[in-house]
Every structure is written in structure tokens, then in C-alpha cells.
């Protein structure tokens, strides 16, 4: 039998198998694990750089800690592909991010080795502290194991306020847990080498900790003022040597920095902190994104998230776009508007390339602000800019704007400050799955007085709406648009300013009206084409605005049609609900009008190809026609429903 390329990894089905290896074998295992991850992601696409950076850390954590009894919580979870491979999921790793396959993030329903699901950042310390508190309560009642809790958080995620809130609470509670700070971009770390590894091993060791406790016991016999001086001297001496004073002040015992790719440095420190019995510990580990794969090391920004790629060359396989992306059109439109208006500024929360604001920053570096993973701060920061007469565009994914809802309410809407929200990734997002879907912004923003809401049906409409946001300063505005390519319509040289609250009629006539808000307009037109071909004329209308509604237009449509369908790529409580509420209050439903609101269903839709997800949601042309057919009753029996595309 021919030798495999991964002889050690082939022996590892679960971490218990890993713990049977000699320490001297772990370097080879890490190399094999890295190769396996590269090969898998070359087939599936996904997050690459972050996972490559934590291969050695993953091996070390599962070797030292007794997972899954010991809880291992990965922040965000996009770096957990190596973790998945060695936790009973290697046989499915090439289904990552595909329909029916493994999630691209940690997911409780997927494995006992994923004790906490993720997708958004900066949650791991809070969740881990909750698990540690639960363990402590169970131990008091003799109902649970005395297990360890380990939270792994990146330096970017540490920029979020939630992480510091959790650390502050953990320091005050003095509950036993370990936080691994995976530092791959911070400047707080002094040089990492033999001396820092030696210090980390000494400071985390039992001898030093016993000596420290002895000194504390002795200091209790000193006057209070000298006790405090002794404590400060010990703390700041260690802080000077290690750079961990900030974490010590928050109540953590700081260890590090250590080389996160050197197993000889990692293992003894992790073994030491595993045996610590009191309080929270922070282990500062320095890694490099993309480590061990030359193309990713050379360009970690391009290899953070990748499409399928050639393992040898690193060249990514990307389909030639048939139309510009909505994100790209937004960026170009904003740059164009900013060339004529020096009050336009842009804010992103650690997603400059994802929102297109990297292009804006290149053109106007002094007018673009990346505030880090801090959506709450981003929104209130934008409100401060608006209060001084600037025109701030807060470009934030729909799913991440949820994290700043109180700031949208209190700091923007209540004060009626004209912050311009550019809501990217509105709607379903394919392979990223439910944690990143922008399903709720229609509903959660639609309840707010003073908020003007619009949705782009295509990339030309997006340009018009950016221009409209620039020109309109009476209220805050929100513009939503999806992930991916546009429809290929011709783009205007410059966006025109739309009349606030006015829709547009694309075709009119017949018994059925399809009233769309956003990019499901293309499917509404396709459904209308098929209905027209079968002798059932229908109207198609682009609402453009959800707040304020074009009440005069919608009431006329209600009078002139037998059936009114609203379509939106959002959850219940959004555009359709607002339309029905308005119709009811105007007595328009009493005439026998048949109304249906086609929205995202009341479920979380798992990752898949977009068309397959829209089939599940009931928002493709075939499902629209099926709804019309059912509402027409006997008259609709002759309508042929074209079978939906097979997940294309």
C-alpha cells in the first residue's frame, strides 16, 4: 500500500487520538494539518489566512486540554477549519460553505466540539465567562465537572467594546478561565523570541506563582499603604518585562508574548495555565496570518477569504463578472459625489474592502475613517460628524449594523441627525450562511420615526439613491443593497436625486400587481413575463422607498388590481407589513383585495447557492407565479408554473 501524504493526520479522528501522540510528533502533525486545510479550501473556497495562522495553536490546545469536556470557544469562528478537521469532521471538510455541508463558522448543532456558535466577532470572552460561571455553580452543587474554559480571540476582535466589557467582568468575578489573545497584527507585542518564551514559561509556572502567593501572604502583615505599594511594584515589574499591564489592570494574569508557531514554546505555557486554580489568565500568542503557505503570507489581505484556487501557484479561480458588484458601484458613486462635496465623509467598522471604502480611502484618505470592529462607536461617531454639518456615510453590513441598534435609535433617529447608512449585504448571502444574512434591517429600522428607507433594485438605482442621500439632510437615511453582482443595466454618468417617498411603475395592466422593494424586482419582472405569455397581464412596480411609502401610488394600485403581492428580501415586519398596515388604515382591504407579503420565511436559511436559498425562501419567479395561481383560484388553474432552477 502506498504511503499517504498525511500519515499522522490519518490517525486522528478526534482530539483524544491526538493526545496519544508524542510531543515530538506534533510538528509533523501541524504540517500535515496545514496541507490538508490548504487542499480543502482550494476546492471549497472560504477563509484561508486566519486558519493557517492558528494551525499550531489548534494542535497545542487540543493536545493540552481535554476537549470537548474542556470548552474551547473560537471568536468569530472563521479560523476554525483546522479545528474542524481534527474534531471528527475531516471527511466532510470539502463540503465547507456548501448546501448541506459544514458551516464556515463554528456551530453548536454541528459538533460537541463547538460549544458556542459564532460568525460575529468579540463574543468569545463573554460566552466563555458564562460557561465558567456555570461550571462554578455546578461544582457548588456537585453536579458538573471541574473543566477548563478557553476562549481564543484575535487582536482585531479585541478592538470591540464587548470584549473589554467581558474582560472587566471576568476580572471582577475572579472566575477561572483562559483567554488566548491571538495577535497577528498588533503593535503591543515586544519582540518574540527565546527570552520572551522563557519569561512566559517562568511566569506561568507553579514555582513563580507559589512564590507570588507567598509574598502576598507575607504582605498582609504590612501596613495597608505598603501592601498596595508591594502589589504595584510586582505588577508593574512584570508589566515592564512582558507588556501586559493593561490586562493586569483588568484583573487578568498576563502571560506572554509567545511565538504561536513554535510548539516548544506553546505547550509548556498552556500546560502551566491549565493547572492554574484562581482567576482569569490571558496568554498573548503572536501569529502570522497565512503562515506556512507562501502566497497567503505574501498577501494576507487577499487570502483572508478566497475563492477556489490553485494550490501550487495560489492563483484564485474567479468567474469573470458579467456586471459590476453593488459594493463597487456604491464606492464609485460615493467617490464621484465626494469630488463635488467636501462635506462627504465615510465610516467603516473594520470592513474597508468589504464595503468598498478602501477605494474611497485611496481617493480621500482624510475623509475616510476605519474605527475597527466597533459598530456602536461607528454609528455615534457618524452622528457626531452629522451634528457638525458633515455628511457621514456609515457603510456597514446589515448583519453587523444590528450590533449598533441602540445607537441608531438613541444617537441618530431620536436626534434626527442626517447620518447616511449604506447597508451592504442586505438579504441572503450564499456561502456565509445565516450569521451573515441581512434579513432584519427592514424590520428593525422600519419602526423608527425620522428614518427614511430606500432599497436599490439594480445598480443604476443604487447610483441614484447615493445621490439622493447626499442631497437629503432633513432626516437620517438608510440605503440597502445586496451582496454580489448587479443586473447589468446601463449606468448613468451621475446619479439623479430621487423624490423622497415616490415609487416607479415599470409596466401596468391586468388583475395582478407585483410591488417589489429592492432587488427581487428582477424576479418580479421574470414572473410577469411568464404570466403575460400565458394571457395574464400583470403590473410591476418598484417601490423604491419603504419609509415614507408612496401611499397615493399604492392605494391606486390597490383600487385597480384584484391581487397585490409585495416582495422583499427581508424578514416579516418590513416593507410588506408597512404596506398592509397602510392599506388597512385606509380601508383598502375592505373591497376584497387579495394581498400577500412575500418575505423571508421565519427560519434561518443555511448556506447554499443563492438560487437554492431563494427557492427555500419562496422568492424566485416560480414561487411568485405559484402564489398568483393560488390567489386566482379556478381562473389560475391554467397557469403553468415553470419549475425552479436547480440551485444554479
Residues annotated as catalytic are 289, 375, 403
394 has which bridge partners? 347, 421
CA distance 116 to 80: 12
Residue 22 known to bind ligand: no
Instruction: Please state, in angstroms and rounded to a whole number, the distance separating the CA atoms of residues 598 and 521.
Output: 12
Task: List phi, psi (to 5°) of 378.
Answer: -55, -45
Q: Which of 544, 479, 535, 480 shows the shortest CA–CA distance to 515? A: 544
284/188 Cα distance (integer angstroms): 10
Contact 624, 597 (CB under 8 A): no
636 labeled binding residue: no
Separation of alpha carbons 360 and 344, rounded Å: 11
157 carries a ligand binding annotation: yes
Q: What cell does 267 get?
A: 505547550
CB within 8 A of 532, min separation 6: which ones?
A: 538
- DSSP E strands, 112-252: 149-154, 177-183
User: Is 450 labelled as part of a ligand binding site?
Assistant: no
DSSP string, 562-612: SEEEEEESS-TTSHHHHHHHHHHHTTGGGG--EEEEE---SSPPPS--HHH
Task: Residue 527: count other Cβ atoms within 10 Å of its Cβ.
Answer: 28
Question: 236 in helix, strand or coil?
Answer: helix
Q: Is 328 annotated as a binding residue?
A: no
Using alpha carbons, select from 55, 43, 62 the residue that is nearest to residue 102: 43
- Cα–Cα dist 121/403, whole Å: 11
Is 78 assigned to a binding site? yes
Contact 444, 480 (CB under 8 A): no
CA–CA–CA angle 506, 507, 510 (5° rounding): 150
Spatial contact of 286 and 259, defined as CB atoms under 8 Å apart: yes
- 372 labelled binding-site residue: no
Query: How would you write 28-61 as a 3-class SS string?
Result: HHHHHHHHHHHHHHHHHCEECHHHHHCHHHHHHH
Query: Please, what is the Cα angle at 59 between 55 and 62, to 5 degrees?
Result: 135
Does the annotation flag 488 for ligand binding? no
336 is in an annotated binding site: no
**Residue 119 assigned to a binding site:** yes
For the annotated binding site, the residues are 78, 119-121, 155-157, 184, 293, 375
For the annotated binding site for Mg(2+), the residues are 155, 184
For the annotated binding site for thiamine diphosphate, the residues are 78, 119-121, 156-157, 184, 293, 375
Amino acid at each position: 500500500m502506498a504511503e499517504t501524504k498525511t500519515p499522522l493526520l490519518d490517525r486522528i479522528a478526534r482530539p483524544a487520538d491526538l493526545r496519544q501522540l508524542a510531543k515530538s510528533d506534533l510538528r509533523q502533525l501541524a504540517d500535515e494539518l496545514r496541507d490538508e486545510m490548504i487542499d480543502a479550501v482550494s476546492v471549497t473556497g472560504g477563509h484561508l489566512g486566519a486558519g493557517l495562522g492558528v494551525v499550531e495553536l489548534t494542535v497545542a490546545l487540543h493536545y493540552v486540554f481535554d476537549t470537548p469536556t474542556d470548552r474551547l470557544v473560537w471568536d468569530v469562528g472563521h479560523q476554525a477549519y483546522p479545528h474542524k478537521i481534527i474534531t471528527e469532521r475531516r471527511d466532510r471538510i470539502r463540503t465547507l460553505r456548501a448546501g448541506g455541508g459544514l458551516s464556515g463558522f463554528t456551530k453548536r448543532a454541528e459538533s460537541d466540539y463547538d460549544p458556542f456558535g459564532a460568525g460575529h466577532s468579540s463574543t468569545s470572552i463573554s460566552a466563555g465567562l458564562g460557561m465558567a460561571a456555570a461550571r462554578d455553580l455546578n461544582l457548588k452543587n456537585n453536579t458538573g465537572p471541574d473543566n477548563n474554559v478557553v476562549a481564543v480571540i484575535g487582536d482585531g476582535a479585541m478592538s470591540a467594546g464587548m470584549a473589554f466589557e467581558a474582560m472587566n467582568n471576568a476580572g471582577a468575578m475572579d472566575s477561572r478561565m483562559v483567554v488566548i489573545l491571538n495577535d497577528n497584527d498588533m503593535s503591543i507585542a515586544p519582540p518574540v523570541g527565546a527570552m520572551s518564551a522563557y519569561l512566559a514559561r517562568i511566569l506561568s509556572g507553579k514555582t513563580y506563582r507559589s512564590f507570588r502567593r507567598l509574598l502576598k501572604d507575607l504582605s498582609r502583615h504590612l501596613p495597608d499603604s505598603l501592601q498596595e505599594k508591594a502589589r504595584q511594584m510586582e505588577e508593574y515589574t512584570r508589566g515592564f518585562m512582558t507588556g501586559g499591564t493593561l490586562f493586569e489592570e483588568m484583573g487578568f494574569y498576563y502571560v506572554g508574548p509567545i511565538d504561536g508557531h513554535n510548539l516548544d514554546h506553546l505547550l509548556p505555557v498552556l500546560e502551566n495555565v491549565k493547572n492554574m486554580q484562581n482567576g482569569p489568565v490571558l496568554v498573548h500568542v503572536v501569529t502570522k496570518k497565512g503562515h506556512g503557505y507562501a502566497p497567503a503570507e505574501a498577501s494576507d489581505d487577499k487570502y483572508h477569504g478566497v475563492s477556489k484556487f490553485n494550490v501550487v501557484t495560489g492563483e484564485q479561480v474567479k468567474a469573470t463578472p458579467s456586471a459590476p458588484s453593488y459594493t463597487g458601484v456604491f464606492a464609485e458613486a460615493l467617490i464621484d459625489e465626494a469630488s463635488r462635496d467636501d462635506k462627504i465623509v465615510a465610516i467603516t467598522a473594520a470592513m474597508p474592502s468589504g464595503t468598498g471604502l478602501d477605494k474611497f480611502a485611496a481617493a480621500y484618505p482624510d475623509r475616510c475613517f476605519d474605527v475597527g470592529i466597533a459598530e456602536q462607536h461607528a454609528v455615534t461617531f457618524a452622528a457626531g460628524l452629522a451634528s457638525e454639518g458633515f455628511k457621514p456615510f456609515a457603510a456597514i453590513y446589515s448583519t453587523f449594523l444590528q450590533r449598533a441598534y441602540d445607537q441608531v435609535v438613541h444617537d441618530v433617529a431620536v436626534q434626527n441627525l442626517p447620518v447616511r447608512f449604506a447597508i451592504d449585504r442586505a438579504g441572503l448571502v450564499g456561502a456565509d450562511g445565516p450569521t451573515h444574512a441581512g434579513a432584519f434591517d427592514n424590520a428593525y429600522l422600519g419602526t423608527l420615526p425620522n428614518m427614511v428607507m430606500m432599497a436599490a433594485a439594480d445598480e443604476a438605482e443604487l447610483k441614484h439613491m447615493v445621490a439622493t442621500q447626499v442631497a437629503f439632510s432633513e432626516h437620517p437615511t438608510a440605503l440597502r443593497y445586496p451582496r454580489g453582482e448587479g443586473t447589468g443595466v446601463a449606468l448613468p454618468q451621475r446619479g439623479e436625486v430621487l423624490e423622497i417617498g415616490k415609487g416607479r411603475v415599470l409596466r401596468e395592466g391586468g388583475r395582478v400587481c407585483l410591488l417589489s422593494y429592492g432587488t427581487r424586482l428582477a424576479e418580479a419582472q421574470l414572473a410577469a413575463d411568464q404570466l403575460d405569455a400565458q394571457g395574464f397581464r400583470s403590473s410591476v412596480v418598484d417601490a423604491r422607498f419603504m419609509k415614507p411609502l408612496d401611499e397615493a401610488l399604492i392605494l391606486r394600485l390597490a383600487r385597480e388590481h384584484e391581487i397585490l403581492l409585495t416582495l422583499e428580501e427581508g424578514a416579516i415586519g418590513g416593507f410588506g407589513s408597512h404596506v398592509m398596515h397602510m392599506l388597512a388604515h385606509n380601508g383598502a382591504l375592505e373591497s376584497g383585495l387579495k394581498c400577500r407579503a412575500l418575505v423571508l420565511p421565519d427560519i434561518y436559511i443555511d448556506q447554499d447557492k443563492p438560487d437554492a436559498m431563494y427557492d427555500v425562501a419562496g422568492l424566485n419567479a416560480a414561487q411568485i407565479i405559484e402564489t398568483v395561481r393560488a390567489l386566482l383560484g379556478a381562473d389560475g388553474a391554467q397557469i403553468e408554473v415553470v419549475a425552479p432552477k436547480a440551485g444554479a
